Amino acid sequence: MNRTRTNDRSARTRNGSAESRTDGSRFGSSAPRRSGGPARSGGYGRRSGAVQGEFALPRTITPALPAVEGFADLGMPEQLLAELGRQGVTVPFPIQGATLPNSLAGRDVLGRGRTGSGKTLAFGLALLARTAGQRAEPRQPLGLILVPTRELAQQVTDALTPYARSVKLRMATVVGGMSIGRQAGALRSGSEVVVATPGRLKDLIDRGDCRLNQVCITVLDEADQMADMGFMPQVTALLDQVRPEGQRMLFSATLDRNVDLLVRRYLTDPVVHSVDPSAGAVTTMEHHVLHVHGADKHAATTEIAARDGRVIMFLDTKHAVDRLTQDLLNSGVRAAALHGGKSQPQRTRTLAQFKTGHVSVLVATNVAARGIHVDNLDLVVNVDPPTDHKDYLHRGAEPPAPASPAASSPLSRRISAETWSVS
């Protein structure tokens, strides 16, 4: 076995190879008004040059407000500031310090940052602060967060729930694989903020259990993955139902041309902020390629899985995931499978066991590759090669985010089987 190592809103109307690379006023008004900016013509003026594979980011017409160094400088409700302290969040991450002054003022935001960069609080605090003091009518939420997967929906809900409770806002999570009746009940009871996957939200709207005509703030998290998964028609249909004068925030780890339609159609004079190079360069990780004979691949994979620390292994199909998981269990490795064929309670339990250390190896399809943050992850293994560079990036090509910007992040290592071959 040989190893190669490298370090390396038109007007809101309805028209309209990787292994060698390392890559101001109070916020409670019933209809938040936008500060500054041009009328909703959908135009941005000239666009900046684009990195290959990405669209040209829009130029901001209205100058952005300066970044802040502390949450106390933002003028958020005292309850949110107190909860930040209780949660041990003392210093804003760069994407939070840069975007929150503008999102709190009602500006549209286009943000790029890797998993763990602080995107959830960047949009979540703004949404909660601007919604605080309002009460939703039954079936009519005031804020909407769209995400591509059930796991990410639950993660966003878990992250924002303490802050929502502090300002007495009710949250509902709307995803497939869970009881639609319970979700409809939560909406009928009234929820100010809804975290949803596009398909299940559409089902609830079709049933008459939800209306989006009172949604003033809409967030798209991991928008490019929603496009990649074929959700674009559903996403645009949902965005066409929210209040046309409302605020939109789009956050993602990558901004490729699949997202261009959303930016051009639904963001007006957005503040643009990126905390990571578009290519996703990673300098704090080691990338390895193992060249092995085909007959040795299973043994090599099992040996890697049996190492100390937490490991994620990615494969292409549910069948391959289940088969490898069983083989690892038979070899004495504490492994668990995660893929779209599992029920939502199973997937939630598996992720929780992996995060707490009861499971040391998570064997997964791409369902776990985007937006799921696991602290102190030691190793990511591509047993099957990713289909494109974005899959390589999101299959753990980012180290875990430190607890605070000043803390140091542990070294993560990737062993990439992307080029398994006979040597």
Model confidence pLDDT, tens digit, residues 288-303: 777 777 778 888 889 8
* pLDDT range class, residue 383, cuts 50, 70, 90: confident
**According to the per-residue pLDDT averaged within each range, which of 4-18, 43-57, 294-308 is highest?**
294-308
Indicate the residue type of 105. A
> In the predicted model, what is the mean pLDDT of residues 188-199?
97
On the question of pLDDT at 26 being above 70, the answer is no
Q: Where are the domains of the chain?
A: 39-274, 285-416
CA atoms of 371 and 381, how far apart (whole Å): 17
Is the whole model's pTM more than 0.75, yes or no? no
Predicted local confidence at residue 157, as pLDDT: 95
Residue scoring higher pLDDT (208 or 22): 208
Say what percent of the chain tops pLDDT 70.
73
Predicted local confidence at residue 393, as pLDDT: 59
Residue scoring higher pLDDT (411 or 398): 398
Tell me whether strands 247-252 and 271-274 are parallel, antiparallel or unpaired. Answer: unpaired
CA atoms of 158 and 160, how far apart (whole Å): 6
CA atoms of 203 and 42, how far apart (whole Å): 30
On the question of pLDDT at 389 being above 70, the answer is no
Q: Which CATH superfamily is domain 39-274 in?
A: P-loop containing nucleotide triphosphate hydrolases (3.40.50.300)
* pLDDT range class, residue 112, cuts 50, 70, 90: confident
- CA-based nearest residue to 278, from 123, 147, 111, 102: 111
Predicted local confidence at residue 57, as pLDDT: 75
- CA-based nearest residue to 131, from 79, 92, 162, 168: 168
* pLDDT range class, residue 396, cuts 50, 70, 90: low
> In the predicted model, what is the mean pLDDT of residues 192-202?
97
Predicted local confidence at residue 390, as pLDDT: 60
Q: What is each CA distance from 90 to 44, 87, 105, 130, 400, in whole angstroms?
A: 35, 9, 22, 21, 18
| pLDDT averaged over every residue in the chain | 78
Intrachain domains 39-274 and 285-416 with the same fold = yes
Predicted local confidence at residue 270, as pLDDT: 95
Q: Which CATH superfamily is domain 285-416 in?
A: P-loop containing nucleotide triphosphate hydrolases (3.40.50.300)
